[in-house]
Structure 1
């Protein structure tokens, strides 16, 4: 992706038919939350990709979006979102805006989303992305995901869309009691999806799920 990046904002019957096939595919892979499936069905994924990818935008796989980042595989987006169990009007912190596709899925579920991107070029592209205005409950920040957004916390849910080598303690502390964080953890090519539920400031319930492969979660901001 670069500053000459071109998007196609036409959403025709062909695109909608391909989205329905995509939803059927991820349903067959085990996604059962109908609200999540409907959100995937409602959002034109090709809007988030360069026109060069339009013909394959609804394949269930990740694609590059520049700056060493990717738009996640739709199944991965659905899997993380299903684990998060988002309810309308909950306050959700997202670490790693990327293309804003996952952000808009959360917006489609009526969450109030605070999303952080550390790559300045991606952040600037998302700022210019008109489709995001469909969701007035989205707020975009340029910053270090490891730091979270303590000024705006605590949060009902936290979603991390990059692989953390270890559990970010600062993010756990920004959860409300009873809040949940979904995060892929691991330093190698494959990470384990984990979910933390905050019992108290010092106690968290920990669950381990399937293996995935994410780009690494990095500290600081990249200009």
Structure 2
């Protein structure tokens, strides 16, 4: 790919190349390469290792933290029904965070060298190589860092006894999000609901990247008006406009 006189060499480590694309980066990164073999990010084997995560590491690492957090609230006197409702609310809060982060951070427009580089590491690589199975879930080290401000925010929103359960619910929502995301890319669902969800998400990758920001559901896309229309709906709208011109 040649852009602004710069050629991205896909056979070399990509992270420190993509920044040179400048304003052409957005077009380049949204031209997917459908290959299960992911590209190399860094020349360093150590940093390259940190960018690769198997999907099952997410539940193995974080579900024990979820269970511990919930148990702390129970030990502090919160009843089991109350904890259940708090956890459900935490999952609900996560779905809003999922949508907001995906729409406003993961799809931020960049053109500077370091802006492009950071965006590629954060989310651009996923759009360029959507079938890279080792870079579909968030690296645990990065998640651990992000848990710190999330926990501090939770403490401001709740009481000392309910904060652990709310944190656990939000973290459980994240786990559900990451394993669902992997499933949508690599599984072949046979039942209607997951099949429609897979179609909905792949539409975001391969047809219109500016809509369809939900992963686990389309709820917030409905709320905020970013639910993509089906091709048939767009065709009907187009034909309706054409008919209006002749009236």
TM-score by length of 2: 0.22
Which protein is richer in helix relative to its size? 2
Which protein is richer in strand relative to its size? 1
Q: Which has the larger radius of gyration?
A: 2
Structure with greater contact order relative to length (CA < 8 Å, sep ≥ 6) = 2
TM-score by length of 1: 0.24
